[in-house]
């Protein structure tokens, strides 16, 4: 649990960058007063007497490198608790294990393909059912919420179509119907720097730390953040009991990545907007999806709900699979690879890559067509990124 008064000697309310650098990192924690938290590579901890120890006993149930990171992520969300897991899907698994057979999940229809696959192909085997809904439309919530609904799952902006859900409106509607329904927001695409779902009615915020939080594309990890002590206790129990923990080394790396999150996000925002504006006016682009463009259907919700935009941009190239493939084989600075949120620019073909596990009819309905391309705009120089996209677009028709 993060306690800013313990972290900061002065009675000040620190801002994002200060928390990213100092929350959970107090050198006085360590025997040698390490300014940079050490990597605690140990599976077990010496006890003073049986069951009497310094807060850590066995590396699955807890590790100082993990605690440091969890405190920092919680502080960045202005939240009380954070738990980290071996991947974003590991975090999803820990949340799903809050449910029992017969429970129902209401989830946004446009979401990461792996999350969809987990609920439809894995959790379903244990009797958990899921209904998909487009939360950006007028949803008859009274009808969608079943007596057995226990969890509402929203990604916003969504992966890969970058739709924006009015989180406050939906959370209020749901909690008006039933207070006990757990509302989760996957905030991977914006991070706590640009959106704070707990202030908009969410009970849980989930991250794939593999993306912006780490920001260096060298760690797979997940996290869940909450202010609710009951959910925290259950999620901590699941972290230990399911064994889906991150390694101390990975915790060190993500903690290091967090130190520049605020700096990176501003630059991702700048490059992402520049790329979106460039694509929107390009004759070889059919349509550009970016919540910062006035043409985006939920642009006004984004302006109200976000404090900025990340580097995620999706677009429909003119043509079909042939043109998309030619484009993706012609990019030189952007790299054709799954994932997002690193300092390097990546391009993804959702229909064949990240969302291939979503059934074809669902993909068509969602707009995940063969000419949809998703970009994670990185931190390279803006003019080079735009020149790269321009030459690859031209190559797509040759």
With contacts defined by CB under 6 A, name the span among 281-289, 306-314, 324-332, 338-346 that binds ligand P1T. 338-346
Question: Which of 25, 65, 93, 115 is close enough to bind ligand P1T by CB under 6 A?
Answer: 115
Q: Cβ–Cβ contacts within 10 Å for residue 108, how many?
A: 24
CA distance 196 to 94: 21
Q: Which is nearer to ligand P1T, 26 or 369 (CB)?
A: 369
Count of residues of this chain found to bind ligand P1T when the rule CB under 6 A is applied = 19
* Site track for ligand P1T across 207-246, x = CB under 6 A: -x-x---------x-x------------------------
**In whole angstroms, how close is the CB of 350 to ligand P1T at the nearest point?**
8
- Under the criterion CB under 6 A, does residue 354 sit at the interface with ligand P1T? yes
Q: Which is nearer to ligand P1T, 110 or 282 (CB)?
A: 110
**In whole angstroms, how close is the CB of 92 to ligand P1T at the nearest point?**
7
Strand 312-317: give its sheet, edge to edge.
Answer: 285-289, 312-317, 372-376, 346-348, 335-336
Q: Cβ–Cβ contacts within 10 Å for residue 327, how many?
A: 27
With contacts defined by CB under 6 A, name the span among 112-120, 193-201, 235-243, 282-290 that binds ligand P1T. 112-120
The residue annotated as part of the active site, out of 109, 166, 186, 370, is 186
Question: Which of 114, 197, 291, 342 is close enough to bind ligand P1T by CB under 6 A?
Answer: 114
Is residue 343 annotated as part of the catalytic site, yes or no? Answer: no
Question: Which of 103, 109, 155, 370 is close enough to bind ligand P1T by CB under 6 A?
Answer: 155
Is residue 112 annotated as part of the catalytic site, yes or no? Answer: yes
The residue annotated as part of the active site, out of 60, 228, 259, 287, is 60
What's the residue count for the chain?
A: 398
**In whole angstroms, how close is the CB of 74 to ligand P1T at the nearest point?**
19
The residue annotated as part of the active site, out of 19, 196, 211, 264, is 211
- Under the criterion CB under 6 A, does residue 2 sit at the interface with ligand P1T? no
Q: Which is nearer to ligand P1T, 211 or 282 (CB)?
A: 211
- Under the criterion CB under 6 A, does residue 188 sit at the interface with ligand P1T? yes
Is residue 186 annotated as part of the catalytic site, yes or no? Answer: yes
Question: Which of 25, 40, 87, 238 is close enough to bind ligand P1T by CB under 6 A?
Answer: 87
The residue annotated as part of the active site, out of 85, 112, 232, 316, is 112
With contacts defined by CB under 6 A, name the span among 10-18, 111-119, 122-130, 236-244 that binds ligand P1T. 111-119
Q: Which is nearer to ligand P1T, 106 or 111 (CB)?
A: 111
Q: Which is nearer to ligand P1T, 145 or 221 (CB)?
A: 221
Pair 210, 186: CB distance under 8 Å: no
CA distance 96 to 182: 11
- Under the criterion CB under 6 A, does residue 68 sit at the interface with ligand P1T? no
Q: Could you list the residues that contact ligand P1T (CB under 6 A)?
A: 87-89, 112, 114-115, 155, 159, 186, 188, 208, 210, 220, 222, 338-340, 348, 354
Residue numbers annotated as active site: 60, 112, 186, 211
């Amino acid at each position: 649990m993060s306690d800013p008064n313990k972290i900061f000697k002065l009675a000040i309310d620190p801002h994002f960058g200060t928390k990213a650098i100092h929350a959970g990192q107090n050198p006085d924690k360590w025997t040698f007063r390490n300014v940079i938290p050490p990597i605690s590579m140990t599976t077990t901890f010496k006890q003073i007497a049986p069951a009497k120890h310094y807060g850590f006993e066995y590396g699955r149930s807890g590790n100082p490198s993990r605690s440091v990171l969890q405190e920092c992520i919680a502080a960045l969300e202005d939240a009380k608790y954070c738990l980290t897991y071996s991947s974003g899907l590991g975090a999803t698994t820990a949340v799903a294990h809050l449910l029992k057979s017969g429970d129902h999940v209401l989830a946004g229809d446009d979401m990461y393909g792996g999350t969809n696959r987990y609920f439809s192909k894995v959790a379903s085997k244990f009797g958990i059912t899921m209904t998909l809904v487009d939360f950006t439309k007028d949803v008859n919530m009274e009808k969608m919420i079943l007596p057995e609904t226990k969890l509402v799952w929203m990604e916003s902006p969504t992966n890969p179509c970058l739709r924006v859900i009015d989180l406050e409106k939906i959370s209020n509607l749901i909690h008006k119907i039933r207070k006990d329904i757990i509302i989760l927001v996957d905030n991977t695409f914006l991070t706590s720097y640009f959106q704070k779902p707990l202030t908009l009615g969410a009970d849980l915020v989930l991250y794939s730390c593999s993306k912006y939080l780490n920001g260096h594309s060298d760690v797979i990890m997940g996290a869940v953040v909450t202010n609710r002590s009951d959910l925290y206790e259950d999620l901590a129990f699941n972290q230990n009991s399911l064994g889906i923990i991150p390694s101390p080394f990975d915790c060190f790396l993500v903690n290091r990545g967090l130190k520049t999150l605020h700096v990176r996000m501003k630059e991702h925002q700048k490059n992402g907007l520049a790329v979106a504006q460039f694509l929107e006016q390009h004759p070889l682009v059919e349509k550009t999806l970016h919540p910062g463009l006035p043409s985006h259907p939920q642009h006004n919700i984004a302006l109200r709900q976000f404090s900025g935009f990340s580097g995620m941009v999706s677009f429909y190239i003119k043509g079909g699979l042939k043109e998309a493939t030619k484009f993706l084989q012609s990019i030189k600075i952007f790299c054709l690879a799954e994932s997002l949120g690193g300092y390097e620019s990546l391009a993804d073909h959702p229909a064949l890559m990240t969302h291939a596990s979503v059934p074809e009819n669902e993909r068509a309905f969602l707009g995940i067509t063969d000419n949809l391309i998703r970009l994670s705009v990185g931190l390279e120089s803006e003019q080079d990124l735009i020149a790269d996209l321009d030459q690859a677009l031209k190559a797509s028709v040759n």
